[in-house]
Amino acid sequence: MRALAVLLALFAAAPAAGELTAVERRIVAHAAAHEDEALALLERAVDVNSGTLNLAGVREVGRLFAEALAALGFETRWVDGAAFERAGHLVAERRGDGPRVLLIGHLDTVFELDSPFQRWQRLSPGEARGPGATDMKGGNVVMVQALAALSAAGVLDELDVAVVLTGDEEKSGRPLGLARAALRAAAAGADYAIGFEDGDGDPRTAVVARRGSSRWELTVTGVPAHSSQVFTPEVGAGAIYETARILAAFYERLATEPDLTFNPGVIVGGTEVDFDPTQGRGGAFGKDNVVAGHAVVSGDLRALTPEQYARAEATMREIVGEHLPRTTAELVFSEGYPPLAATAGNRGLLALYDAASRDLGLGPVTAVDPRKAGAADVSFVADLVPRVLDGIGLMGSGGHTVDETADLATLPMQIQRAALLLHRLGRAPR
């Protein structure tokens, strides 16, 4: 109720619809005038490979954004990630007189050093392709340039700002609690948390709810034997048949539940198998005339609430526990990203962002369907921060593929929207 009361007070203090104050006009003008600077920073960041496991590259991208934030008066530090087998995180703080705002991004991409997709490519005046252009180096640029606009207008001191750019969002380090300790520490006492992911790539939407995501691994064994003996009491069904039964039952029992997904992303099976869960790679040896002795499946599970997670896991364990003849199976769930619920505080913060967009003449912004947005770091602070918004970074299409393309027309508009929202939060009654 307190979160809702504060947001209602914010509405009362905001200018009338479509009306910008003199300070707000200066903020918007600065954002528009420095588009080339924003594009240059984005190109520099994209051209540095920062696949999660390229630790040096992640650190270098962190250095670029640390320089940009330091120029705005932020104190920056690098949190080393050796303890959780990753590069680490950039943390920056600038103390001010207003509400505590946590801004969240990430430095890494899904494109490692062996990817063919490595460089920024300008396709047209309005489009550019590059690894991490939208997910999410573009979002980091939106964040930095919005802060720069507030600084130029002389109002950045009205906020108490913490920035956390993680180095392992795409492939989180372990243990996960340690890998996200710096983010959660920065969230302590925050009034607002804002993530600059690209959401569903549509500038007409933003994120107030995200499904959580966890990994599961299924290990199945059977009795290796000549194929002529398959289905006999002594040999049974073999590992691959048992794996097929389990996956089919997952689909039959759970596929129709709203907002729940479970995806077997990798499967290897045969007489012998080798699987590296960190790399998501493996191999198998077998023959057509030999009953498979082993199989491994790796996948993810996504749910909107902890209760939905618990129900899905229980059903999956029940299915795995049934077994075809002479087979065994084990299902292990790993810790993952928690869900972000669509609270009243989150919806109210979206309403403020929507109002800022309308006042800028950029149209309404509504909540994205959680099925259209993946898991993100912002969910790790959902239990600590009363008002959370995400998905307000640079928009585009083709994320996580070699066709990742930024819609450059959305860069100035996203900077202006974010800057205006932050400024109005700084004027909020406390």
Query: Does the pTM exceed 0.75?
Result: yes
Q: Distance of CA 117 to CAs 109, 182, 229, Å? A: 11, 30, 48
**Identity at 199, one-letter amino acid code:** G
Interatomic CA distance for residues 244 and 250, integer angstroms: 10
Q: Which of 49, 131, 47, 53 is nearest to 87 (CA)?
A: 53
pLDDT average, residue stretch 60-75: 98
| Whole-number Å distance between alpha carbons of 165 and 92 | 9
State residue 154's pLDDT score.
97
Average pLDDT over the chain reads 94
Q: Where are the alpha helices (DSSP H) in 15-156?
A: 22-33, 35-46, 55-70, 138-152
pLDDT in tens, 131-159: 999 999 999 999 999 999 999 999 999 99
Q: Angle at the Cα of 199 (from 346 to 142), degrees rounded to 5? A: 90
**310-338: pLDDT as tens digits:** 999 999 999 999 999 999 999 999 988 99
What is the pLDDT confidence band of residue 267, given thresholds at 50, 70 and 90?
Answer: very high
- The residue length of the chain stands at 430
Is residue 307 predicted with pLDDT exceeding 60? yes
Task: Work out the percent of the chain whose per-residue pLDDT is above 90.
Answer: 90
Inform me whether the pLDDT recorded for 363 exceeds 60: yes
- In 3D space, the residue among 204, 106, 107, 169 whose CA is nearest the CA of residue 407 turns out to be 204
Q: Do the strands 192-195 and 100-106 form a parallel or antiparallel pair, or are they unpaired?
A: parallel
SS3 for 316?
Answer: helix
- Separation CA 193–CA 156 (nearest Å): 16
For residue 7, pLDDT over 80 is answered with no
- Hey, is 348 helix, strand or coil? helix
The stretch 405-428 carries a mean pLDDT of 96
Lowest mean pLDDT among 279-283, 340-344, 366-370: 279-283
pLDDT value at residue 284: 93
Q: Is the pLDDT of residue 410 over 60?
A: yes
Q: Is the pLDDT assigned to residue 9 strictly greater than 50?
A: no
pLDDT, average across residues 247-270: 96
> CA angle at residue 58 from 55 to 63, to 5 degrees?
125
pLDDT at 11 over 60: no
- Of 335 and 39, more confident: 39
> Token pair 């539940």 is at which residue?
257
Give pLDDT, residue 8. Answer: 42
pLDDT bracket for residue 428 (50, 70, 90):
confident
Report whether 202 contacts 349 (CB < 8 A).
Answer: no
120-128: Cβ within 8 A, 24+ apart: 120/42, 120/43, 120/46, 120/47, 123/405, 125/408, 126/407, 126/408, 126/409, 127/396, 127/405, 127/406, 127/407, 127/408, 128/43, 128/405, 128/406, 128/408
Mean pLDDT of 210-235: 96
Long-range contacts of 396-399 (CB under 8 A, 24+ apart): 396/127, 396/133, 396/134, 396/138, 396/198, 396/201, 397/134, 397/201, 398/129, 399/134, 399/135, 399/198, 399/201
The answer to whether 209 touches 367, Cβ cutoff 8 Å, is yes
Domains observed in the chain: 2-210+338-426 (3.40.630.10), 213-333 (3.30.70.360)
pLDDT at 430: 57
pLDDT at 398: 96
